[in-house]
Amino acid sequence: MAQPTSIYTEEHEDFRAMARAFMEKEVVPHHDQWEKDGQVSREVWRRAGEAGLLCFDVDEQYGGMGVRDFRFNAIVAEEISKVGASGLGFPVHTDIIVPYISSLGTEEQKQRWLPGLVSGELISAIAMTEPGAGSDLQGIRTSAVDKGDHWVLNGSKTFISNGIMSDVVIVVARTDPDAGHMGFSLLVVEAGMAGFERGRNLDKMGLKAQDTAELFFDNVEVPKDNLLGTEGHGFIHLMENLPQERVSIACIALAACEHVLDLSLAYVKEREAFGKPIGKFQNTRFTLAEMATEVYIARTFVNDCVTKLNAGEVDASLASMAKWWTTELQKKLVDQGVQLHGGYGYMMEYPIAKAYVDSRIQTIYGGTTEIQKEIIGRALGI
């Protein structure tokens, strides 16, 4: 069957083979236990760092490979999705959080944090969402007061990926209550700072092995040296980095769609009803034909986004298109996959059931589908 034009070279495919072997050896045998534990091991982070699967775009002087090619990021996201390893926070770390430090950090900050982030010794998180502020970032109430040589940070955050295990947390805080969207700054809180506490490892519907936490800041004294970027430009810094975050989520969604199609095809060829494989029934063939067509379109679309991202040509509206469309497609296809599996699709011992519960958050985090459509609508001038 014809496949979309590949954007990957032999070098990328060699990297994919290495990433796939890593997943099979270091992740798959342990993931069920991590699901029970509610988090992955720190060891797998360090092993990933040793294998060169983290932060490969970080400059060599800080321990990275200095390779700025998002195709490598996409490969890691795809190989994670293909084995259902939803507990690994590598894409959040590599694609979303560390780039803030790489692009905004001072020389001292880069030397302090980047080597550990590349090696997996340090795990990162970004704290935007609050109990009363999700998609509406301007509703953030966490505040930091300037005390001369430090900030005093107060507030709370929720739904923070990597929140339990994180060593370095980029906190979005209001530093000037009277400056509107120019009143936010990014402060880096480090594990062990007095007044920084972690709440529950939240009990989620899916992504059971990914630690997602509440974070609390009670008069945390944050050194001035931990201001990331420009004071008052926090909102602008977030907007500058969101396109890559949303393309990253689209890569994850695409890989999940391909995984669901593979699971469904394998099942309908083996499962029999009325004396023949259910794949021989017209309704099943038609459903899978539609799924295969949509996966082809998604692969073509995401490949184009990755190519444009490498060229610096992804704007906010294109990133929003990729994010909402691929995640809504993932939600649709996994539902069809469960239906094709029948009662077995409702059993957690079948990978399609895990894919179902893991998929539901995709249209919510990173900006809801509704927010993405609003961004696109504004770009259309309406």
Q: What percent of the chain has pLDDT over 90?
A: 94
According to the model, what pLDDT value does residue 136 have? 74
53, 221, 239 from 127: Cα distances, Å: 23, 17, 15
| 58 vs 47: CA distance, rounded Å | 18
With cut-offs at 50, 70 and 90, classify the pLDDT of residue 115: very high
**Neighbour count for residue 99 (Cβ, 10 Å):** 17
| 227 vs 153: CA distance, rounded Å | 12
According to the model, what pLDDT value does residue 9 have? 97
With cut-offs at 50, 70 and 90, classify the pLDDT of residue 193: very high
Angle at 86 between CA 83 and CA 90, to 5 degrees: 100
Whether the per-residue pLDDT at 169 is higher than 90: the answer is yes
Average pLDDT over residues 169-192: 95
For β-strands 196-201 and 212-223, DSSP reports them as: antiparallel
With cut-offs at 50, 70 and 90, classify the pLDDT of residue 198: very high
> For all residues of the chain together, what is the average pLDDT?
96
Token pair 């699901």: residue: 35
According to the model, what pLDDT value does residue 288 have? 98
**Neighbour count for residue 24 (Cβ, 10 Å):** 12
| 212 vs 8: CA distance, rounded Å | 33
pTM: 0.95
Average pLDDT over residues 141-170: 97
According to the model, what pLDDT value does residue 1 have? 80
According to the model, what pLDDT value does residue 137 have? 75
Average pLDDT over residues 11-19: 97
According to the model, what pLDDT value does residue 2 have? 78
| Chain segment 282-322, per-residue pLDDT in tens | 999 999 999 999 999 999 999 999 999 999 999 999 999 99
Average pLDDT over residues 4-17: 96
According to the model, what pLDDT value does residue 220 have? 98
Q: Which residues are catalytic?
A: 245
- Which is higher by pLDDT, 138 or 153? 153
According to the model, what pLDDT value does residue 232 have? 96
Q: For 220-257, give one letter per residue: b (16+ CB within 10 A) or e.
A: bebeeebbbbebebbbebbebbbbbbbbbbbbbbbbbb
Question: Residue 342 in contact with residue 336, Cβ under 8 Å?
Answer: no
